[in-house]
A and B are shown apart, each in its own frame.
Chain A
């Protein structure tokens, strides 16, 4: 908390004039949160005529800002109906550089995402609060677009897998139907073969669970949710993806194997997004071995721990590999070797991994094919840990 200078409050009689032409919305608030001054940028941002902002409560422009600020400053709940306590607001205004991501309201009532930074400044005979308001619409939309795009590519990937997923569902349904019809026969026997019927019922339970598990995985994969960073077992993520791709591997004649260290520490991440990365890498590996000898149609996914403590997942294929210049380009958007591909898979995967503070890169194998590596930092805040499953 800055010391309150008692001398020379008039040193900068109107320091605000410096901000008149600043390319950011700036306002000065009195102890009650009313606007004393506003620069033209602020007037434009909130769509007011010049001078009209003066005297307005900041809560009209950034709803709940002032009361929330007071709450933060005093650490107690304020009755919103009670008159604002100038002393308390002032104390709050003394907290420098208070930053808030919130929503601000234009004059016509429409709102937009905004970042507000508040700072105490000496003002005339005492103190006031200088506030900057930044329109965050663009970065907010960018973030939302990226999530939307990630969701779209997930849906389109699943679309490509629809056939094999149908097969995956069909198998338990086939088993259930045949089991039920066998049971109907065993019950007609004289005496009824109840031991067999009991076994059958157990199998039906297992197969029903399997079918709903397939559906759960599909739904979890296509659901559109806010990013949720939780404590995750990366092996579980990989296993779910390998299950999703089980039938696809068979149809394509690819041998997909999983080689994981069972004692990996958890990572911090969004399950669906990391699944998307793994799925993308494995499906790419399937494509990479499409034209090779059937014996070489081998894809292996590894999970282990690096010497520096990072968790590493690697997907290795035995395809034709690619040239060095192509290796450079594949992570750029709209670069694809597939007729139906959007060319977004790897670029989205990389942005997802980087968002997780990890890295994604590709290397040529010394013998044959490619390996895609993902490293992710291990989970590090056990006190707030929450397991995804």
Chain B
């Protein structure tokens, strides 16, 4: 399967302790046109993939991918492994005999799908494509977040203070009063905030502030 067919080719990780199953699943997924990386040990997968995905891009945002894994692994259960994964790497679970509790637990913990072995190709590939869609959305979200964060980093400490108060709905006058400065200066800061954050309106700025809801930007509780 040539890489030109899909650009970029999404990666599907296969984690199963049983070599023959691992090989068969890898073949099937590869035959469907994905790039496949297979691991026999959950910990090995975590060590390798976590490092890879961190180094994946300069901003630390990985490519869309998903993992197909067996619930029962000798070194680490699939559910434990899933806890180590972020939203950009959704998990499709395979199980020999999944009970309801296990299925609910996995889905609650964010599993993309829960399939029983032996699994038919249509079911598996459908689950994989849905997981990849989810992954792509999560990747997109992370991209946006990183972008907004980098814009935020361009603000001076003073500009940040102004932004914090402005998004709370304070008027320039009030901001000036709180920061012990004059309204004209606040106005200038505010204009630079809008410019650096690449937004055109206060409403947009508020939305951005919500998205980047980090401790240093989130508003302090208003004094009673």
Using a CB-CB cutoff of 8 Å, which residues 135-187 of chain A contact chain B?
Answer: 163, 166-167, 170-179, 181-182, 185-186
Which listed residue, B30, B72, B117, touches A251 by the CB 8 Å rule? Answer: B72
Interface 1/0 per residue, B3-37 and A, CB below 8 Å: 00000000000000110110111011011100000
A163 touches B28 (CB 8 A): no
Beta-carbon contact of B117 and A173 below 8 Å: yes
Q: How many A-B residue pairs have CB under 8 A?
A: 83
Interfacial chain A residues near B17, Cβ < 8 Å: 250
Whole-angstrom CA separation of A109 from B119 in the bound complex: 61
CB-defined contacts of A121 to chain B, threshold 8 Å: none
Quick check: is A203 within 8 A (CB to CB) of the other chain?
Answer: yes
Contact B97 A178 (CB under 8 A): no
Residue B221, interface by CB 8 Å = no
Q: How many of A's residues come within 8 Å of B, CB to CB? A: 29
Q: B31 to chain A: which residues have CB within 8 Å? A: 182, 185-186
- A residues 365-380 near B (Cβ < 8 Å) are none
Give A316-360 as 1s and 0s: 1 = Cβ < 8 Å from B's Cβ atoms.
000000000000000000000000000000000000000000000
Nearest to B73 among chain A residues (CB) is A250
CB neighbours (8 Å) of A170 from chain B are 96-97, 117-118
- Interfacial chain B residues near A185, Cβ < 8 Å: 28, 31-32, 121
Known: A173-B118, A174-B117, A250-B74. A203 touches B23 (CB 8 A): yes
Using a CB–CB cutoff of 8 Å, the interface residues on chain B facing chain A are: 17-18, 20-21, 23-25, 27-28, 30-32, 72-74, 94, 96-97, 117-121, 124
The residues of A with any CB-CB pair to B shorter than 8 Å are 163, 166-167, 170-179, 181-182, 185-186, 196, 200, 203, 206-207, 210, 247, 249-251, 253, 255
A–B Cβ pairs within 8 angstroms, 30 of them: A166-B97, A167-B72, A170-B97, A170-B118, A171-B20, A171-B96, A174-B94, A174-B117, A175-B18, A175-B20, A175-B24, A178-B119, A178-B121, A179-B24, A179-B28, A181-B121, A182-B24, A182-B28, A182-B30, A182-B31, A185-B31, A185-B32, A185-B121, A186-B31, A196-B27, A200-B24, A203-B24, A250-B74, A251-B72, A253-B74
